[in-house]
Every structure is written in structure tokens, then in C-alpha cells.
Amino acid sequence: MPSVIWPGRPDPLGANADDDGVNFALFSETATRVFLCLFDAPHRPPRETIELPERTGRIFHGYVPGLRPGQLYGFRVDGPYEPHAGLRHNPHKLMLDPYARAVAWSGNAAEPFAYRVGDPAGDLAMDREDNAADAPKGVVAGDAFEWGDDRRPATPWTETLIYELHVKGMSRLHPQVPPTLRGTYAGLASPPIVEHLKSLGVTAVELLPVHEIYDEPEVRRRGLVNYWGYSTLGFFAPAARYAADPRPGGQIAEFKAMVKTLHAAGIEVILDVVFNHTCEGGHLGPSLSLRGIDNRAYYLLDPAAPRYYSDFTGCGNTLNLRHAQTLRLVLDSLRYWAEHMHVDGFRFDLAPALSRRGADVDRHSPFLAAIGQDPLLSRLKLIAEPWDVGPHGYQLGGSPYPWAEWNGRYRDAVRRYWRGDLGLAGELGYRLTGSSDLFSATDRGPTASVNYVACHDGFTLSDLTAYSVKHNHANGEDNRDGNNHEHSSNWGVEGPSEDPRLASIRARTVRNFLTTLAVSQGVPMLAAGDEFGRTQRGNNNAYCQDNPTSWLSWETGPEGQQLLAFARRALTLRSRFAVLRRSRFFAGASGPRSKLRDISWLRPDGRAMGHSDWVSPSTRALALLLGGDATGIHDARGEPVVDATLLVLLNADEVPTRFALPCRELGRWQLLVDTAAPAAEEEILPASADSRELPPATMEVLLLRTDAASEPHSAS
């Protein structure tokens, strides 16, 4: 018997089930009719097609009694097909509900183009072939899940250590993860992965995109996939490709279980979200959802020629967040993931594109205003990737409080300094101390800076020391893709080498990267696998490499195990010492009862750094002294925090450099970390030690011991 459909209600949007049936609601300003298609299986034609009977304002809606969670559905959206006017309705193509909370399909939609491919008229020639059987379909989802006593860890920014990872790549090759769970949400939540994260001191995982993904046709033609996932199909649906549970909708419960497990371990979950563009691409791209529902509302179109898209993302289109419905879609998605999936924050890919006003970036955009006033979203961890590919797109430092930002200048300064570049003392000084030159103007402190040396995009830490140029031939783009300016060095030989001298300098440079990250003010971010020397063999844009190039290899050998042990020790410095976790910028001042300043910059001879030292191209060795009795930090009761005093020595020169040891009248120095001797135990230096000689390209961290028998108390 055909289904009965009642008028239903226009809110909330999407497919929402109750005890008696399912309400369907779809926004479109330009559609004339909307038909609901119901399916019995992902690869079969619709069981029936029913016109939504009501339209309230710009929302088509209807209620089907008797339907239950798990029902597959999609929409045929009728209306004008006039590309020159920015209208691309085609009722022969099934459209995915933008609010679908799960997607079921084969992974390759048949004939997803609204126009006849190969026709001389291009996208102006509407295609009338039906694609409903193989098109992506929404899954009516229920909310049943036993969260129990799950709570957000709510880790303060000052205590946060972010670990950027890919859900599949993290566990795909892990020998201790059950084979059926490898590469899945459940695999990420498995005990060996959680234990590894905790051993590093990780407090938050940042997941590469997990919204449902559609691999671009040109990528699939090369026999590849969009492994990174920056090609979003559905903003509410966890990607089914990462679920061990194969049932339609099973990915929702599995994702929730992953979050619950990570929360129980004290680890927050941050999603890398892509609201700047969708998988539908430019005017010759596929029609899968937004394009065929309301092209003019959801996308920024060229005002002079609405057939084409304004592209500030390099991916063919840009979402139009100045339209109320598009902004609502984004905010509803964020709230859904926060409220129903319990995630703790978001990293916004190409964030300036979300605030575009034509060729300009509006720092007071509706998007930023909406986030800032939202009582839930404004309290989560919000991170911007502060650049896009449009005019004036580099906006580092421009986000408002309380946003944090990926600090690309930190990345470049640290890479160049340890490569041995000249003239970087001043730049490095700002980066090590939280980048006050970038973030103080917006009333933010050091925690606005997410510090990283490597991330998913670019060379790994290991590859930064082994390759001077990219090797992306496997991507099928003739090595034209990817960044050409990695600020890397191969130290004389491109790629792997058996030369012990070369191996030594490369390994020491990686340790320098890790230690610099550990002692820098701000929020450190580590890319998965860099702690044990992961390599992509010189591929710096492995976005389409769903294979061992990108998957973490846990069979690391002695060198990898030694690096892992070192990484754990170096990163532990942050939890041990409050002077490395400041919420305010240094003032260069001392307190009323302190013997030291909060920070002192020293030359190797022990004298204070002067202007000529900061601007001299030859300054490649310097020290910073962090005064534990002058932190300027107060605890919850307003009492001054007295912490340890640390001395950080950095020598990027090509020759050994001797550093005078200050403060000898206050105590003895204890060596905590020496990147030239990674396996060395912590040792208290003799009272007579008045200097330390550092080999070339070496870094040390020392602790001032006022009592040689015990470590100074470190207040949190």
C-alpha cells in the first residue's frame, strides 16, 4: 500500500522521527515542487515517490506516519533549469537532504551530473537520465544512545596538547587493534590507541574531516580517493567509510561510542570542518545536494555571470554564509555535533571564506557574530585556519576572542631557524613567546596561537629533514600539486641515506622541532606519527593517498622507538612546568618579591640580548630564562603562582657554542633535555659548572634547582 502523507510541519529541517512516523522538511526559495522518494535498499529504485504537500514560507514539508529510523530517503526537486540565471533544478536527479544525519550509498553515484556530459552546450544541456537507484540517500536517524555519565573534559587552553590525526590512518596498520576495527571510529577508541595518546600527554584529538565525503570525479578518474576528506557531501552525517558497523546509520552510534571512550580518558574531540565549499565543485561539477535544491541560496555566484561560481577556496565553489539559510545550515550542523555527538570543538578549514563579502574578508561577518553570541558554540574550542585563496585571504591574527588560530608563521620560523637560515632571531623570539605581535591587538593571549611545525598538509617532521623538494608523482598531477616552499633541508642527500653522520643531524633536527614545540608559549599541535618518525617519502600533498603512504606504520624499529621515548619526555615538560603554559604574554618584568624577570633573553656570553643582537643576521644562538618566581600568573584564589625556573638554550649555528649559565647564586642547574643526547638521563650539574657547550644544531632545557634533593613545585 502506498504511504499516506500528512501536511507535517516546517521545523525542524531534515527528517525527524517520533513515535508515530517521520516529518520531512526541505528549504528552497526557487523550487516549484518537491517529491520525497522512499527506498528499501541503497542500490534500488525508490519504493515510492510522494510529493510534499505543504509549503510554509520557503520550506516544503510533509509527515509520513508509520516510518521508522533506518528508512532511506531522498528528494527530487522540481523547478527551472536555467544555469545562466544560477538555477539548476533537475527532478531526474535525486538530491541528498542537507540535514541527513547518515548517508547510505555505494560510494560512487551514477550519473551525478545534472547536464549531459559531452554535450557541446556543456552544463546548459539538462540531462534527463534518472540516477535515483545509485545516488546517495539519507537515513532517518534516531537519537537513542546511552551516554551515561559522559562529560566534556573541558581542558583549559593552557593545558591543551592537540594531536591531529586521520581516523582511518591512525589505526589501519596497528597490530594490536583487532583487524575488524582497524581504520574505524571504533579502532580510534581501542585501548592501544588511547594508551598511546595518553602516553604523549595528548588532551585533544583533532580529526581530519569526518563529515560524509564525496570523492571528486577527477580524483576517481585517476583511481584515487579524497583521503583527507576535504570534499563534504553532508554536514550532519559521520562518514560511513570509517565505520566498522556496515548497517545504514550504524556510523552514528559508533562515532558516539568513540567520543564517549575518549572523554573517559580525558581526551577532547575536535572536528576539522569544511564549511567553505562542498564536493559539488564548479559549474561542471556533480549535482548531489545543495546545487539542485537551491543553487542561488547556498553558493556564492559570480554577480556578473551567475552561471559561474565565486571560488575563494580553490575547490570550485564557495558557500554563501551571508544567506540566512546557509548560515542556519552551518550553525545547525555545529550545534548538532556539539549537542548530540558531544564533540568539544571545531577547526574551521579556510576560515576567511566563511566571512567573505565579495573580494573582502569581513571581520564582523554574520558568521563570526552568530558564533560569538551562541551560548553553546562560543564556549567550545574554536580554531581558525586563517587563510583562503582569495584576495586578502591571509588573515592570521584577525580572528576575534575567543578564537585560536593555526599559526603558519610559527611553523615557518621554526623550520627556517633549525635549517640554519640567517636573520631569524627577532621572528623566533615572537614565536617562542606566543606571538604577541599577532594576537595582542584582538585582546587574546598566547593560547590564541596553535603552534605546529608539521600537520597533515605538507612534509612530516621526518621528511622536513630528508627532502628539499616535493615528490608527489603518485598523485597523478605531474608533481604540480602541493606546496613548493616547505623550508626543509635534506642535509646533502635527497631521501633516505645510510650515512651515519646524515642520520645523526636529521634525527637531532626532528628532536629540535619537538623540543621547540614543547617549550613555546601557546597551544602545541603534533601531527600523528611525527613522534616516531613517520615518513610519506617526500609526498607533501598526500590528500589522495589512501594507502601506506598516509597510514601510520607502527613497526618503527629502534630509531622510531628512541624518538618516541624522547617525544614523550619532551612533551611532558608542559605538564610539569606552569611557566610553559602562560595565559598572558610576558611583560619582561619582575614581581615585588621575585629575584628574576618573567623572561630574560640572553646571549651565549650571558649578557642580555640587545637590539643589535635581535637584528643581526649572524645571531643563531640565544637563550631564554623563564623566571619561576615572576610568572605573573595567579591561581583561582588570586595567589601568585611560583613555579620552576627554566633555561632554554638554542644553537642553530654550524659550530659548537658555549653558553654561560646564569643564576648560579640561586641554585644548581639540572639538565632535563639535550637533543644531542636523546637517551641521556636527567642530571644535576656540578656546582662549579658555569657554562655549557652545545654542539651545532642542538637545544637544551635546564631546570634551576634551589634544593638539589627535590624538584620545585609546579602549580597548575
Q: Tell me if 598 sits within 8 A of 566, measured CB to CB.
A: no
The cell for 13 is 529541517
Distance CA 93, CA 85 (A): 20
**HEC profile of 72-86:** EEEEEEECCEEHHHC
Sign of the dihedral defined by the CA atoms of residues 242, 245, 246, 252, in that order: negative
Q: Tell me if 314 sits within 8 A of 94, measured CB to CB.
A: no
Burial 649-677 (b: 16+ CB within 10 A, else e): bbbbbeeebebebbbeeebbbbbbbbbbe
Q: Tell me if 499 sits within 8 A of 565, measured CB to CB.
A: no
Which ranges of 500-556 would DSSP assign to H, the alpha helix? Answer: 500-519
Distance CA 674, CA 666 (A): 22
Is 206 catalytic? The answer is no
Q: Tell me if 640 sits within 8 A of 713, measured CB to CB.
A: no
DSSP 614: H
Q: How far is Cα of residue 127 from the mean position of the Cα atoms in its chain?
A: 38
Q: Tell me if 101 sits within 8 A of 143, measured CB to CB.
A: no
Q: How far is Cα of residue 624 from the mean position of the Cα atoms in its chain?
A: 30
> Beta strands 449-451 and 404-406: pairing type?
parallel
Nearest CA to 344 out of 273, 395, 401 is that of 273
First to last CA, the chain: 66
Nearby residues of 501 by Cβ (< 8 Å), 6 or more positions away: none
Distance CA 202, CA 517 (A): 14
The residue annotated as part of the active site, out of 164, 212, 254, 349, is 349
Q: Tell me if 265 sits within 8 A of 153, measured CB to CB.
A: no
> Beta strands 381-384 and 523-527: pairing type?
unpaired
Give, to the nearest 10 degrees, the angle between helix 500-519 and helix 557-576. Answer: 20
> Beta strands 381-384 and 87-88: pairing type?
unpaired
Which ranges of 265-359 would DSSP assign to H, the alpha helix? Answer: 290-298, 324-339
The residue annotated as part of the active site, out of 311, 385, 486, 700, is 385
Q: Can you give the length of the chain in residues?
A: 716
Which stretch of DSSP H or E encloses residue 382? strand 381-384
Distance CA 63, CA 24 (A): 6
Which stretch of DSSP H or E encloses residue 268? strand 268-273
Is 478 catalytic? The answer is no
Nearest CA to 674 out of 683, 663, 687 is that of 683
How many Cβ atoms are within 10 Å of 497's Cβ, its own excluded? Answer: 15
**Long-range contacts of residues 706-709, Cβ cutoff 8 Å, at least 24 apart:** 706/666, 706/667, 707/667, 708/667, 708/668, 708/684
Distance CA 58, CA 35 (A): 15
Distance CA 611, CA 359 (A): 39
Active-site residue set: 349, 385
